[in-house]
Structure 1
Amino acid sequence: MSVRKRYKDDGSFVWEYCLTISKSPRKQYRKSGFRTKNEAVKAEQEAITKFRTGYSLLAETITFQELAEMFLKKCESKSKAVQRNYKNSMYNHLQYFHKMRLNKITSLIVENWIKECKKTASTIAECVKFAKAVFNYGIKHDLIIKNPFLRVEKPKVVNKERKRLTVQEALKMLQLCKERYPDFYALLATQIFTGVREGELLAIKWSDFDFTNGKLKIQRQYTSGELKESLKTSSSYRTIDIFPTLVKILKNHKKQQPLLSEFVFINSVGNLHNPRNLIQRRFEPLLEEMFGDRKYMRFYDLRGTYVDILLAAGLPLKYIQSQVGHSNFLTTMNAYSRLIKDVNEHAVDVLEKTVSIL
């Protein structure tokens, strides 16, 4: 703690005080502009009182943009997709907060911003998620003591109903694909008959298959142009049972593969596929021909078709959970509740026919 004169270029001076908030790492808080020493001493004592009661003095000097950029630097080890989403929220949607001091951002200000914000509910939700993480980072490093984004009311995101192919539609698409785009046939069949995630699909190697026992190990992913030997969660590492029909398709695909590669699905020059190109040049034209709408469904929604196939076969939900790689049972229930409801309704019809003979 110290009070001293601070000289200006013209030789005049003002009084300032400096508080050492932390010795390791060293953090200081300075404030100047006082006309007399007594004013500086009084302000210093008020600052000490605030600090001792848990008030963060640094929150008066750091802006949201400064803290957010510190947080973004710390996130450089995260995936490119995560970094891209964070930067999109920061630089395209949260400019309102950039120059604001952290101590001036309150939950009321945040809620008013949400109320006046002319952005979609999902965009606002992403912004709040990012800002919440930024403030949590500040709390962790003793720069602030409260997170104004923690309990704000966000607009409700209405999830669109996911579309899926019926088993008959899936078989029709595969036949159409075989005729129109034979180079895409094995990849599409693998997606429909294993329900793997897009990144997992593109990273499959021939060594991951055990054709004799009908098994496929999922143990890596290809996302945002990066091959990663790690997956989302521990439950994502799994062994999937594959159908004899798929084994036959894949063996034939291997024979016809023009270039030798350890990876199952490669483009014409031997590299891993760009998923956007695959979807735009192969999957969407198939949707256009079948449904008259290139955006009828997402490629990811084929996971639902796979679940549909397993449910139709009467397989238990716990088994389905392990096959699709969900970390807990509720995730499977929530993600595919509509499919489960359809199967349950069918089960009621079967039961009714059974007991009607009594």
Structure 2
Amino acid sequence: MRSSGARRRLPAVAVPCPEEAFDSWLWRAAYRIGVAPGFFARALGLDLSGVRQVRPVGFGVCLSLEAAERLEACTGIPAGRFTGMQLANVAVVGAPVGKLTVSRLREWQADQWVSVYGGRVCPLCVADVPVSRLWWRLSAAAVCPVHRCLLVDECAGCGRRVQSGRAQLGMLPVREGALDPGVCGNVLAGSAMGRCEARLSDLPVTVVGDILVVWQRPLLEAFAGRPVRALGDEVSPRQWFAGVRLVTELVREAATAAELEDLGMPSSGRGPGAWLCSVAGEVRGRVGSPPASALEAAFVLRTAGSLLTGHDPQDAAGRLRSWADRLVRSGAAKTVLAPNRRDVPRLVAAAVGW
């Protein structure tokens, strides 16, 4: 982003909420003063392109120090607050390397298990304040720890991923006027400017209780930048998340139904976590793909996450070794294991024979 010259301090700007994503704040702050998000972005001095819409490729992913300082000058909000709202600065995520293009950004978000544009949502949270939390953009995010409900993936109004088409590929509307951050806002198919008006707070909620909150706790610890244990060893957030991605591939491709049941996965529609039964078969064969739903994320947290963090380290290492051996014998090791070597914790790497 290039400098757009000296900027005046705006008289009133919405203050970012804790854990809020950058695009969520910009959309919300623009609505508060009655202007389009793209128009507001230009007023803040962000160097963007386009007339009717602006299309910054890395919007919400990374922010230069120069741009953050311009935002501080315009809003009075510290520059560090804005840089901390970018996906590339999340502790579990590896920053993209080189110049960002649309294709490279798509590859990066799939590799890092994040969703750049849109994400999951807790309808009960946004009923209070229409804020999209940054950790909801993690593909492994599954549950709201406050309301004990599954995060919602799909809008009941348009049938698409929640807010995924609101700013597709970072395109920020300039001429539409103020856009309510409390609605889905996806651009409707076959309509030049029509948007989904379904209110996020009205989306159906599935209450799952405390068990999934416990399974997700290590993910939120890692998101907050705190070290997490993997096979008994304290590791960095990024290493732990890399370990989860690798173990997920092993579970998907090598673990038997009996082994999953032995790990605590329900085998019938009864008891705690019974709602997970429907997803166990759906994750097979999705090598390299991040969890496509909150339900799949719950499966990942219950299997890979708990195996690394809450299981007996020696037993867990033995299971990983057995699954890795199966993949080697089947000839699938190169496809499943090789792409997941980066940042993996040393004990996890040793368990799979690296």
TM-score relative to the length of structure 1: 0.23
Q: Which has the higher helix share?
A: 1
Task: Mark the structure with the bigger radius of gyration.
Answer: 1
* Higher relative contact order structure (alpha carbons within 8 Å, sequence separation ≥ 6): 2
Q: Which has the higher strand share?
A: 1
